[in-house]
Copies of this chain bind each other. A is one copy, B any other.
Amino acid sequence: MGEQLQEQRLSEVLKAVSDATRRSILTTLVQEGPLRVTELAGRYDMSLNAISKHIKVLESAHLVTRRTIGRVHLIEADLDPVRAVDAWFGQLRSIWDLRLERLGEVIAKGVTRDERPVPDGNKDDPGPG
């Protein structure tokens, strides 16, 4: 159990970085280290509030963390959730390679498509229910 939770989190992370502004914020933070909201906002042609919202999106995807010191909120990048993304893509690619490999064997043996074995489970998705 709990795979859908993982799925959910993966969706959240991917959605968070699917926005160019948010990617840029993340890159900036990774490059320069923790920055204040205002400092960050100053670099974009966008209202402070807009940036504040973007930060919150990144925050709930756990791609950034916040350290509040007095009235200043220090925003810091955290690349940990990216590993889940890597894992997913990696798995996808390995399945892909496996299938190609198997397809190669099948062709070599001259087995027809209908006769070849069913590929085994992928334990991730809301999948083909």
Contact = CB atoms under 8 A, between A and B. Distances in A.
Interface of A: 7-8, 10-11, 14-15, 17-21, 23-24, 26-28, 30-33, 43-45, 77, 79, 82, 85-86, 88-89, 92-93, 95-96, 99, 103, 119, 122, 124-129
B92 A27 contact: yes
Given A31-B119, A125-B24, A11 B19 contact: yes
Contacts of A20: 7-8, 10-11, 125-126
Nearest to A124: B27
A7 to B, nearest CB: 5
Contacts of A93: 79, 82
A128 B44 CA distance: 5
A14 B19 CA distance: 8
A58 to B, nearest CB: 13
Contacts of A126: 20-21, 24
Contacts of A43: 127-129
